[in-house]
Amino acid sequence: VHSSPYMTDLQYQAALTLFGQGRHAEGAQALTQGAMAGHVPSMSLLGGQLLSGRGVAFDAAAGARLILGAAERGGGFACAIAAILFARGYAGSPDWKRALDYLQRAAELGFQPAQAQLRLLSGFRAGIDWKKLRRAVDIDAWRKVPAPVTLSEAPLIRTAPGLLSAELCDALIARARPLMGSAPVYNETQGGNTTADARRHSAALFRVTDMDLVTEAICTRVCALAGLPAVNAESLQVLHYQVGEYFAPHVDFWQPGFEGHAATMKKYGQRVVTVLVYLNDDLDGGETEFLKLGLRHRGCKGDALMFRNVDAQGQPDEATLHAGRPPTRGEKWLLSVWIRDRAPPECGDPGLMAAMAGR
């Protein structure tokens, strides 16, 4: 397909307008035309939407092909997203070497978010020798977690003081702010998300295109605390509570007796572990309370709270009933990570692996 750069730029701008108006099918059609013509911004945006399911039907293999194609054509944003795909294990297993190679390329192309990521991951706060910064990143160090402290044996509840640095906590809050919306709950009968009085606070859900290698490294560290592969983690969430906002008593595991939960568990696996990381501590109240245990806990900034949602036989543990109590002064910021007992179906999908093979 041949098209002038001027025309594909116009199609791209038209697509942005259409998506802004909620006309997703027409917007996707305009992007598809630009992508077929090799227009890098169109390829990048459409690829990201296919990977996240925003505005179009989820199609990880097609999204990966577009992202990797745009990266080959010098798209900085596409290189940064490609880094996530390899770090996540979409090519079969996590490949941090290739992920960091793509991040370095994005930085070299002038993509400023990639440059900021390399600085934060490497510990070098200045400099523009992106190859040097990339070589300084030690992902194995991210997997070395502080010794946990056990609060309860059954159900297993542990804390990990200082799991994340103050700088990482602040970075997570900054990334979450533009993604904030009403916190959803899962529909017990039909599946999918809805809103309810049980959850009165806001949340930011990090889909794949909202992630970067910093958040992926954080996910790797959190999952190392849980003793599970990072690929098993659901999308990261950052939760925000104003004074008086709360999360009513609930459990995090899927309940097989509910049709919507059973279908989700069959496809994605059980939520076996929850990890919460407290991102600030300038507040009063806001504890995590385990109602059947008489246990309340709120960590300092960067501290983690981990608990298993299932018992030793892998069955849902009702003793994990817990609530997010409201702050009485200040705001409460919290990273929430649900970890399943297996990787999502797209990891190891033959179509997705074929799309990424040899890249």
pLDDT digits (tens, 9 = 90+) for 140-191: 999 999 999 999 999 999 999 999 999 999 999 999 999 999 886 665 554 5
Burial readout 115-144 (b: 16 or more C-beta within 10 A, e: otherwise): bebbbbbbeeeeeeebeebbeebebeebee
Burial readout 201-224 (b: 16 or more C-beta within 10 A, e: otherwise): bbbbbbbbbbbbbbbbbbbbbbbb
Residue labelled with tokens 């705001």: 331
**What does the pLDDT read at residue 186?**
63
CB 271 within 8 A of CB 340: yes
Rounded distance between C-alpha atoms, residue 14 and residue 29, angstroms = 10
CA angle 207, 225, 219 (to 5 degrees): 20
**What does the pLDDT read at residue 93?**
85
DSSP 3-state helix, strand, coil percentages of the chain (rounded to 5)? 45, 20, 35
The widest CA-to-CA distance across the chain, in whole angstroms, is 68
Q: The whole model's pTM is what?
A: 0.91
Please give the torsion angle defined by the CA atoms of residues 349, 353, 354 and 357, in that order, rounded to the nearest 10 degrees: -170
How far is residue 22 from each of residues 34, 45, 185, 228, 328, measured CA to CA in Å?
19, 16, 24, 39, 39
Q: Which of 251, 243, 323, 248 is nearest to 285 (CA)?
A: 243
CB 252 within 8 A of CB 320: yes
**What does the pLDDT read at residue 288?**
98
Rounded distance between C-alpha atoms, residue 220 and residue 231, angstroms = 8
pLDDT in tens, 323-351: 999 999 999 999 999 999 999 888 877 88
**What does the pLDDT read at residue 339?**
98
pLDDT < 50 regions, the chain: 1-2, 190
Omega of the bond prior to 146 within 30 degrees of 0, cis? no
**What does the pLDDT read at residue 2?**
46
**What does the pLDDT read at residue 359?**
65
Rounded distance between C-alpha atoms, residue 223 and residue 192, angstroms = 25
DSSP secondary structure, 70-130, as one string: HHHTT-HHHHHHHHHHHHHTTTSS--HHHHHHHHHHHHHTT-HHHHHHHHHHHS--S---H
**What does the pLDDT read at residue 4?**
58
**What does the pLDDT read at residue 1?**
44
Which amino acid is it at 339?
I
Which amino acid is it at 155?
P
